[in-house]
């Protein structure tokens, strides 16, 4: 199998009938970016910026972040890089961002909610990203969005960050696309309006599954209910993709579902533009995509959406699994 997979290194990512899609990588820094680039990934679909903030005594400064982002941008070798702003809270605790003990941290101070409360810290991150954007094509991705107000508040901070850089005479690029993670129930419901005010979507099925099904993604007692094959999750994905297409913006997926060949035909049929997967899955997903022609993927997807339970959907997709 390894030999067969190797053939997919550096190839275009396309279906059996020639539809091309973007296959990018989820990474934590420049090393993984290099690895993904060696497989021929189309850049970085998700740079998790948390690594800079965890295991520290204080938030990283602008220079340290700028250097880290710039290194990743350079490691991508001219391909686009999507940098996700800080996504902590939930299970990722950061001592210097103390919001006290929360009974339900996954429903509490997390990700963009923290950034919008610590605006100065947020602007430092935005400035570092804008500066790194002078070295390649960079997009900003905002995690855990639940409302339009949040994305509007982000734009205000982005403007302000650019203004500060201008005043400081820094080199930066303000031509930066702004996207949101679709990973909460509210974001799915509001996807039409979010699409009108953003440049792209990235569907985060790890959290989307948790928040649509009300199942803690880390609780073994309810693990049996945690499945992105659940019709409620698949319909959420379908709606998010549909709203993006209607608005003419790009839509990708960076959750684990994107790297599961079981879902590949469904995601192709829905019209996902970007699959973003761990470097170790780049070749296997490129192969899985190559094994489907669109009419077959469409037929299977239509059948999958006619079913009402997770079990039925999973059994159907398992039966037709390729790759």
Give least dist CB 9 to Mg ion, A: 29
Rule CB under 6 A: choose which of 30, 43, 45, 204 binds ligand PEP.
204
End-to-end Cα spacing for the chain: 10
Interaction mask 60-99, ligand PEP, x per CB under 6 A: ---------------------------x------------
127 binds, among Mg ion, ligand PEP, none (CB under 5 to 8 A by kind): none
For residue 252, give the DSSP letter. E
**Rg of the chain, C-alpha, whole Å:** 19
Nearer to Mg ion, 62 or 183 (CB): 183
What proportions of the chain, in percent to the nearest 5, are helix, strand and coil?
A: 50, 15, 35
Contact set with Mg ion (CB under 5 A)? 183, 204, 207
Nearer to ligand PEP, 48 or 287 (CB): 48
284 binds, among Mg ion, ligand PEP, none (CB under 5 to 8 A by kind): none
254 binds, among ligand PEP, Mg ion, none (CB under 5 to 8 A by kind): ligand PEP
- Give yes or no for residue 183 binding ligand PEP (CB under 6 A): yes
- Give yes or no for residue 254 binding ligand PEP (CB under 6 A): yes
* 43 φ, ψ (degrees, to nearest 5): 80, -160
From the number of C-beta atoms within 10 Å of its C-beta (0-12, 13-18, 19+), residue 221 rates as: exposed
At a CB cut-off of 8 Å and minimum separation 6, what does 48 contact?
A: 26, 27, 28, 84, 87
- Give yes or no for residue 207 binding ligand PEP (CB under 6 A): yes
Interaction mask 142-181, ligand PEP, x per CB under 6 A: ----------------------------------------
Nearest residue to Mg ion, by Cβ distance, number only: 207
Binding span for ligand PEP by CB under 6 A among 94-102, 159-167, 200-208, 239-247: 200-208
- DSSP characters for 52-81? GTTT-SS---HHHHHHHHHHHHHHTTTS-E
- Give yes or no for residue 136 binding ligand PEP (CB under 6 A): no
Tell me the C-alpha distance between 216 and 149, whole Å: 26
| Residues in the chain, overall count | 323
- Four-residue CA torsion sign, 262, 267, 273, 278: negative
Tell me the C-alpha distance between 30 and 122, whole Å: 22
255 binds, among ligand PEP, Mg ion, none (CB under 5 to 8 A by kind): ligand PEP
- Give yes or no for residue 317 binding ligand PEP (CB under 6 A): no
- Give yes or no for residue 251 binding ligand PEP (CB under 6 A): no
Quick one: which of 207, 270, 211, 186 has its CA closest to 235?
270
Tell me the C-alpha distance between 127 and 185, whole Å: 30
Give least dist CB 258 to Mg ion, A: 13
Binding span for ligand PEP by CB under 6 A among 56-64, 66-74, 99-107, 201-209: 201-209
Tell me the C-alpha distance between 37 and 27, whole Å: 11
Give the total of residues touching ligand PEP (CB under 6 A). Answer: 9
Q: Are 217 and 195 in contact (CB under 8 A)?
A: no
Give least dist CB 301 to Mg ion, A: 24
Give least dist CB 13 to ligand PEP, A: 19
Residues that bind ligand PEP (CB under 6 A): 48, 87, 183, 204-207, 254-255
């Amino acid at each position: 199998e390894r030999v067969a997979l190797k053939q997919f290194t550096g190839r275009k990512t396309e279906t059996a009938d020639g539809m091309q899609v973007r296959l990018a990588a989820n990474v934590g820094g420049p090393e993984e970016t290099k690895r993904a680039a060696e497989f021929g990934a189309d850049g970085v679909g998700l740079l998790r910026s948390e690594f800079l903030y965890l295991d520290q005594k204080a938030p990283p400064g602008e220079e340290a972040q700028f250097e880290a982002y710039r290194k990743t941008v350079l490691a991508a070798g001219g391909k686009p890089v999507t940098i996700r702003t800080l996504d902590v809270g939930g299970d990722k605790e950061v001592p210097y961002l103390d919001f006290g003990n929360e009974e339900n941290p996954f429903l509490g101070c997390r990700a963009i909610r923290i950034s919008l409360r610590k605006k100065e810290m947020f602007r430092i991150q935005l400035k570092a990203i804008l500066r790194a954007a002078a070295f390649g094509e960079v997009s900003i991705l905002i995690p855990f969005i639940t409302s339009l107000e949040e994305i509007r508040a982000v734009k205000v901070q982005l403007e302000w960050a650019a203004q500060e850089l201008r005043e400081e005479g820094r080199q930066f690029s303000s031509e930066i696309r702004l996207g949101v993670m679709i990973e909460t129930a509210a974001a799915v419901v509001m996807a039409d309006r979010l699409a009108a005010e953003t440049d792209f979507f990235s569907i985060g099925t790890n959290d989307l599954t948790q928040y649509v099904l009300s199942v803690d993604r880390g609780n073994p007692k309810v693990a049996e209910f945690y499945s992105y094959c659940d019709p409620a999750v698949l319909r959420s994905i379908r709606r998010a993709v549909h709203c993006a297409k209607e608005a003419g913006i790009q839509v990708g997926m960076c959750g684990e579902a994107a790297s599961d060949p079981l879902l590949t035909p469904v995601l192709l049929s829905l019209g996902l533009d970007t699959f973003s997967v761990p470097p170790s899955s780049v070749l296997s997903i490129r192969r899985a995509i190559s094994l489907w022609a669109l009419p077959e993927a469409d037929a299977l997807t239509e059948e999958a959406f006619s079913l009402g339970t997770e079990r039925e959907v999973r059994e159907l997709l398992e039966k037709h699994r390729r790759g």
